[in-house]
Chain A
Amino acid sequence: MEASPQANAVPAGLDPVWLANSYLTRRKFDECITLCTDLLRANPYDQAVWYIKTRALTLQDWIDDIEVEEEGVAEVLLDEHAVAKAPRPGTSLARPMTGAKGAGGGPSAAVRPMTSSGRPLTGFARPGTSARPGTSARPGTSSVEAAFGGGRPGTSRPVTSGGRFVRLGTASLNSDGSGVFINVDKLDLRKYAGRPQLARALCNYILYHEHNPKKAMELCAHATVSCNYKDWWWKAQLGKCYYQLGLLRDAEKQFLSSLKTCDIVTTSLELAKVYIRLDQPNTALEVYTQAAARHPGEVSLLLGAARVYDALNETVKGVELYKQVLQYDASNVEAIACLASFHFYTDQPEIALRFYRRLLQMGVKNAEVYNNLGLCCFYASQYDMALDCFEKAFQLADDTGMADVWYNIGQIAIGIGDLGLAYQAFKVAVSMDSSHAEALTNLGVLESRKGNLAAARSHYQAAQRAAEHAYEPWYNAALLAMREGNLEDSFKLVNKALAAFPDHTDSQELHAQLLKQFAAL
């Protein structure tokens, strides 16, 4: 690798505005902003420089808001949309386990790890979709706690409203060296709405840099009027402003109108996002499928639809879509990862192995891929490779991943019968992540095999606290209580296990047995 070149002197004779534009196109935003600030100090009314600086500031802070979907505390608490209190089965994202069984089901919770919201762990980590606090079905307190909890284990930094966005009002104090660049409140938005060259850049600036959707909404409204409702872009931006302000129905109207004017893929994606936020996954699916029919080969639409199917726990349909994605884009990491995990959990580790190998060939090398490779090798009986993969995973893993890697090593140790190694591995996993529910549950099982029933019970309790949605700690604790003769406790625990996973046959049998015992009393 060559060292990055030192900043060379700007040659004489070069137009500074051209240079600023060149920095902008090369995405060197800091240099561009500095240069533009100097130029504007010399000539404050230079609109070209103003335009370049606006775009530079916007692009610096720009994030792809079609992907990011962190729901903060405010959204959870203040969500007032009239969501059906008792949605029909399969129509709500908040109650994913009620979908049609059978063909749409995919691997059950008995074999596939579940996330806290009750849907199976997909193969791809996306922001915001792994924990979705529902608006009505889940009890309010737990979802607020989940929102406060944050994504990583052990952290409790709450995600404020707007997710990763900076809090409203402080972005304008963001020092760009010259105080506030554009004082949005003082702008005459109607005047700017009539100038299309500046208006669009300004709108983006207000949305992405200032994070002021109200002001942006005003500007968009004026601009839409001034172009006689013929411009799809202003309608789409208006919809985006409404979405950020939480006026989802208005956003939906705007996006539909924009789509009628001009069928753009991003508009369809944003419309589907609105429907997902409104907890109407079937409508979102319709949007995705219709747009995909109009734009064949557009991978993001297929991926969006597949994600919604995953969220509804209809993994088989999602898998079909992932396969289609791969036909168009053979290097899509998300599709490969989700297909691989689907095949792994449906007892096809060799196929999953091929997918993960493809990821490695593409150059995606991180601890997660090696961990999954190790598991696939083990279950596909390629034992020589399995431990090598885990060693590689160790080298690459950080703290959050390490706990999972050690947990999987423990699983493999159980598979080969080395319970001592399994015990040690689970202990290490718990030491790295004290709320790793699966490792705690397995530790409890091993302790109860050794006969330390008190230790087993305390491990199960820790696992229950860490993951209320998992049925294993509840079931194991119920079994332990029943063996000790504590039927009352056992009954309570098995009910909780059934609440988490109603189809678990062992829990159902235990439940029936306890009922018989109680009836006999």
Chain B
Amino acid sequence: MSLFCTREWWGTGCSRTEDFLAGGLCVGNFDGAPDGQDKIAVASLQGVLRVYQPQCRDARVEDLLLELNLQLPILQLQAGCLFKGEHQQLAILHPRSLVLYATAPSAGQAGGLALQQKCDFRLARTAASMVVGRFGETTDVDSICVQSMDGQLSFFVDGACAFECFLPGFLAPGPLCYCAAIDSLVTSSSALDVQCFRYSRLASATHTLPTQEQPSLHEATGKRLQPDWTYVLGEAPTGICFARFLADEQVGHIVVVGERSLTCLDGHGKLQLQKRLDFVPVAHVMLPAGGGRAARLLLVAPSGQLLVFGGQQLLWLAAVGLVPCAMRIGSFGGERGLLVGLEASGKLSVSYLGTKPPAPGPNSKRGAEPDYVALEAEHQQLKAAMRQAESCAPVYEDGGLLIAMQARSVSDAEAVGWPSGGSQAACVGCLVVHVLLSYLGPGQLTRLQLSLQPPAGVLCDQEIIEVAEVKATSQTPLLLPLTCWATRSSLPGSSFGVVGVYLAPGGRVCTASAALRLPLTAFCHLVAPVHTGAFKLTITTDQPPHPLTLLFADIQQSAQVAPADAGNAADVMTVQYHTGDKATLLVSKTAGRYRAQADSFEALGLLLEELVHRLNEQGAPPGQDLHIFFQDALPLQDWFALLDGHESACMEAAASRERLAQCAAQFRAAQKRLLLATADRTPVPLLYLQLMLHETAEQLRSLGDAVEASQQAVQAAGHKLAAGCRLLLLLVRYHLALPGQDVERLASHLYAQAIHMGDWEEIAKASLAHLLQTTFSDTAGKTGSAAVDAHDMKGMISFMLERLLQGARLSPA
């Protein structure tokens, strides 16, 4: 609703069953009351006349002064001083009669009115409309002019019919207006124009025409009646008023309210003002000029807006509640300038222009603080729903495949079988590993490829397992059995890794991995304790020592050694690997010290790893942490010995390959010469050539065997070196108390897994050099690159360990 509107001062409903037209509203003091208050007369098409006098705000029953059914349809209602010397009377136009009434206080009803019929004129022709005015410049009495449906104008003055005349070129009745200043009647003809007839001319053109059979065009006979002027409007006017509309010297203007425009003409038919309207006015009323200002025209648009025009300008715009069909202006209850509006539905209202401040709407929720927690929860919920609905991406970020592994060593190796590789003799003991696949996401995943990474010393029958698809299951996972054998060829590593690559339902490629710690029992068995050993390493803990029967219960239980030879199993334990190495573990009786002894450096690795793992599993009493230290000096020399061994084995292998190549060249040369000699025409003794060929072949065979042997030696040295690396890293970790991820970084730089590749040395040297140059930081900010010879592995390792000992730490990556 608009802010500016009309506010109702008084309102009532006249009737719901009657039709009200624009001519049925009249405001004036037609009972001549001395206080000069206006009354409202409302007439319906059904013939009911009502007179109201609003006296104060809000209608009361007493405001209805008169309600009378005149039994004839009322076309129009006008008030005026119709008789000389009397106050205002009502003139009511019926289709075939014009009746003039005077009002007097009613005898029966206090404050009411009664009608007294003064005159009743029978009309020969059906009436269309009427207009009241002081025609002919009379000063004391109003005359009535009635327009008939066929163009006859009848004039009634002072209770008598004065004369009649016919409008020229008449087809259908249009609006009629009397302009006092120019003493003319202004009307519109069906030719969409405005015609002005002077009253004197009308009076002198009186004649009666023989009525024609057809109410068609009338030709004026005798003295032709012609309009004073005609103005082609171009559209049919809905109303004509006369007022001093523009601020100029004219005494008044003819304001024509057209269908789409507002036109203002002066008394001579000259155009003064045109204004285009973008609506069709349904009602209009002219507020007469007064108090120094020009007249104002009020128009009502069908959209429910009341526009007030003053000359060129739109002065005011207000929204009316219901669109009236007739409007007048009157003063009631002491208030002047109230708008009276009659709607076609019968509602009569008296209103004024005002404003209604907007009511505060139902904003109850504004008051309370919004519940942010609930809002946030709802927000998250909505976001989750949106994410899920938006793509079929599974809930799991990583694809949803879980791989788990279980190991079981099988004592009866015969039942399981041997690897197909043929190295049956090298395999001892058998291990069955179950790979359990469970997929938790939606749909199913396809093209799963599991690649197995058995540790050193473990042989697996398959390297890659392909699974076509894995459905989502919630109960039992998919089981893939693997068989592995421990080999005699090298000391075993402990971690069996599996990496799976697959396609998730959305088309993404995902990976999953798992690692399994293989049990120690697969790789070694208990033997009689050996108390000597060339290499010794001691681990210290801050907890009281655990007996070995507790820590290594599984090994001791699976032992095949007679209990008598076990010795003090709680303190001493010796295990023998499949390679034949033995390693011993001793526990000190008082402090938490464990010593590992073996004849070779690398054999200590697995045992110590296992010990540390089991110690950590055993844990500490609640409230304390288990700390493991290695307080001796790091056995770098032993490790360097392994390194040297590996290097020499490599060089030996390279040398034997070189020799083989030379021998092969020699063999080829001999072959060629033999061929040439055979092909030669002149016979030549070939004996020495054939001899050379045989011997070279023999040499080739033996050198080939040597190359094979050297390769195996390289492999063995590599295994030992790898084991040594692991051991070294373990010791470094507990010697320097490095955090786990630093150790992993060191391990990844050392890259012990690649020892079996040909160029491990170069890779490791380069990565260690990079590590030294980039990640080591000390307070001085030097990276120490100048002091490091990048070509010497031993030098780099010792330098690094020195720096670590001094307190430098790997800066975060």
A residues with CB within 8 A of B: 1-2, 4-6, 8, 11-15, 17-18, 21-22, 25-27, 45-48, 51-52, 55, 59, 64, 195-201, 231-233, 236, 262-266, 269, 295-300, 327-331, 360-363, 420, 424
Contact = CB atoms under 8 A, between A and B. Distances in A.
A262 B271 contact: yes
Contacts of B17: 5-6, 8
A445 to B, nearest CB: 19
Contact of B172 (A21, A263, A361, A363): A21
Given A46-B215, A233-B232, A363-B2, A196 B172 contact: no
B149 A331 contact: no
Given A8-B19, A18-B75, A45-B214, A2 B274 contact: no
Q: Can you list the 10 inter-chain pairs with the closest CB atoms, starting with the nearest?
A: A297-B312, A363-B2, A361-B3, A196-B191, A197-B190, A331-B317, A15-B126, A329-B314, A197-B171, A11-B73
Contact of B1 (A1, A5, A17, A363): A363
B234 interface: yes
Nearest to A330: B314
B229 to A, nearest CB: 13
Point out which of A14, A26, A52 has the most chain B C-beta atoms below 10 A from its C-beta.
Answer: A14
18 contacts: A1-B322, A5-B17, A8-B46, A15-B126, A18-B128, A18-B173, A21-B172, A25-B22, A196-B169, A197-B217, A232-B232, A262-B232, A265-B275, A265-B276, A297-B312, A327-B313, A330-B314, A424-B386
Contacts of A59: 259
A291 to B, nearest CB: 10
B2 to A, nearest CB: 3
Interface stretch (B33-41, B341-349, B434-442): B341-349
B341 to A, nearest CB: 14
Contacts of A8: 17-19, 45-46
B190 A51 contact: yes
A393 B215 CA distance: 59
A231 B311 CA distance: 27
A259 to B, nearest CB: 13
B46 A11 contact: yes
Interface string B248-281: 0000000000011100000000010111101010
Given A198-B190, A233-B232, 14 more contacts: A4-B345, A13-B72, A15-B126, A18-B95, A25-B238, A26-B344, A45-B214, A198-B171, A266-B234, A266-B276, A331-B307, A361-B2, A363-B1, A363-B2
B149 A48 contact: yes
Contact of B126 (A6, A12, A18, A47): A18
B681 interface: no
A296 B344 CA distance: 37
B657 to A, nearest CB: 47
A59 B259 CA distance: 10
Interface string B301-316: 0000001000111100
A198 B171 CA distance: 9
Given A8-B18, A362-B3, A48 B215 contact: yes
B171 A51 contact: yes
Interface string B185-228: 00001111000000000000000000000111100000000000
Contact of B313 (A297, A300, A424): A297
Contact of B317 (A197, A232, A236, A362): A362
Nearest to B16: A5
Contacts of A21: 128, 172-173
Nearest to A296: B312
Nearest to A267: B234
Contact of B325 (A15, A26, A232): A26
A15 B150 CA distance: 12
B75 A197 contact: no
Given A11-B47, A17-B149, A297-B275, A264 B21 contact: no
A233 B192 CA distance: 10
A301 to B, nearest CB: 9
A5 B13 CA distance: 12
Contacts of B345: 2, 4-5
A361 B4 contact: yes
Contacts of A298: 274-276, 312
Contacts of A264: 234, 274
B626 to A, nearest CB: 46
A362 B274 contact: no
Point out which of B150, B170, B191 has the most chain A C-beta atoms below 10 A from its C-beta.
Answer: B191
B236 interface: yes
Contacts of A51: 171-172, 190
B319 interface: yes
Interface residues of B, number: 68
Given A48-B171, A299-B276, A197 B191 contact: yes
Contacts, number: 151
Contact of A13 (B95, B216, B278): B95
B319 A363 contact: yes
Nearest to A67: B278
B217 A47 contact: yes
Nearest to B319: A363
Contacts of B261: 265-266
Nearest to A357: B3
B173 to A, nearest CB: 6
Nearest to A362: B2
Interface in B5-20: 13, 16-19
Nearest to B170: A197
A262 B269 CA distance: 12
Nearest to B192: A200
A265 B149 contact: no
Contacts of A46: 214-215
Nearest to A365: B1
Interface in B362-390: 383, 386
A22 B21 contact: yes
Contacts of A13: 72-73, 94-96
Contacts of A231: 232
A64 B260 contact: yes
Contacts of B128: 18, 21
Contacts of A64: 260, 278
Given A13-B73, A264-B274, A330-B317, A233 B234 contact: yes
A327 to B, nearest CB: 8
A331 B314 contact: yes
B437 to A, nearest CB: 32
Contact of A5 (B171, B236, B311, B346): B346
Interface string B507-546: 0000000000000000000000000000000000000000
Given A8-B19, A52-B172, A197-B191, A295 B274 contact: yes
A264 B312 CA distance: 15
Contacts of A269: 276
Point out which of B169, B172, B282, B344 has the most chain A C-beta atoms below 10 A from its C-beta.
Answer: B172
A14 B214 contact: no
A195 B278 CA distance: 30
Contact of B171 (A15, A47, A420): A47
Given A48-B172, A328-B313, A2 B73 contact: no
A247 to B, nearest CB: 22
A197 B189 contact: yes
Contacts of B312: 296-298, 328
Nearest to A331: B317
Contacts of B217: 47, 195, 197
Point out which of B127, B170, B232, B344 has the most chain A C-beta atoms below 10 A from its C-beta.
Answer: B232
A299 B309 CA distance: 13
Contacts of B4: 361-362
Nearest to A421: B379
Contacts of A27: 280, 282
Nearest to A329: B314
Point out which of B95, B282, B383, B386 has the most chain A C-beta atoms below 10 A from its C-beta.
Answer: B95
A295 B274 CA distance: 8
A265 B345 CA distance: 36
A402 to B, nearest CB: 19
